[in-house]
Amino acid sequence: MATIYQVAERAGVSLSTVSRVLNGKTTVNATLKAKVEKAMLELNYRPNSVARSLATSRSDSVGILVSELNTPFFGDLMQGVESTLRVADKHVIITVGHNNLETEQDAVEFLISRNCDALIMHAEAMRDEDLVALNEKRLPIALVNRQVTGLENNCIALDNEKGGYLATSHLLELGHKDIAYISGPMKIRDACHRLKGHKRALEEAGVPYNPMLTYEGKYEEEDGKIGLLELLSRDTPFSALVCANDWMASGAMSCARDLGMSLPQDLSIVGFDDVVFAHHVYPRLTTVSNPIADMAKMSAQYILNTLYGHTHHVQHLFEPTLVVRESTMAHDG
């Protein structure tokens, strides 16, 4: 297989000239560009990312750090980033942080060691100041679903507090007063913000917040089952349940049916994220949309603008919307 060095020799030009042609630079003399293209054709040369990076010191690869791999949410995130970068002829390297500080830090070091040009991160455990230092001293980063002071332009986030507010407000408007809540882990910012929105909706409606109606989960399906059983065991009646993600909502729905409940007649349930299965479960799940694929695309466009000279529009804050389906109904009590 021909190399970039052989192309430069055949064309009688410098290595940097070949690299500029490969990277589509418009500053290359037309005659020299023709020589390079002729040499590539004669040698049947196929450019690769290593060749392209020789003069630019870039690998044309972007690292992606996600919290988990086994949920539709992070699948949509990775797909949104990868498809956007692929159009720009960039590639991705993916690793997982598991919402653990040491694991996230190790993942970052791994991606840097693979010569990634930039990082797109869904990081929950790393401190704000560490993220600021990473962006300033090592390589550009984009943050998905997180807002950090000093990195406002790097952040692509959802108004999670408003999402929590919309979920509970919907149930209040349907006449529910006793509303249980299964949260995500309180060490995660979006879980805290969603619970904060839930509390704000109750306060505005004049309904006292009752901690006995809240259970802290881990964003896993099993937490919906365990959480519902725990809430029912506290002998504090409730007619509706908000779950901080759709996985936990689906677990709660399954548990409720196992207990002989009719949904939504006996229990109205609202989720969060609007992942793909939300309109396949029965009854179809009322939930809060979380446009993670769009946010992922924006994070990729931010990196393309910042590092590779593109001029994409970048939206930094996304608004959630309520998606009403059949898992909620009016309450007369």
The per-residue pLDDT for range 66-98, each reduced to its tens digit, is 999 888 889 999 999 999 999 998 999 999 999
Q: Which amino acid is at 82?
A: E
* Rounded CA separation 62/306 (Å): 13
Q: Residue 22 — pLDDT band, cuts 50, 70, 90?
A: confident
Cα separation, 218 vs 224, whole angstroms: 9
3-state secondary structure of 144: strand
Position with higher pLDDT, 45 vs 256:
256
Q: Give the orientation angle of helix 292-308 with respect to helix 72-87, to 10 degrees.
A: 30
The phi and psi torsions of 179 (rounded to 5 degrees) equal -120, 120
Question: Is 239 exposed, middle or buried, given 0-12, 13-18 or 19+ CB atoms closer than 10 A?
Answer: buried
**For residue 56, pLDDT beyond 70:** no
The tens digit of pLDDT for each residue in 125-155 reads: 999 999 999 999 999 999 999 999 999 999 9
More confident residue, 279 or 50: 279
Alpha carbon distance 223, 225 (integer Å): 5
Please, which residues bridge with residue 180 across strands?
Answer: 241
Q: What is the mean pLDDT of residues 225-248?
A: 97
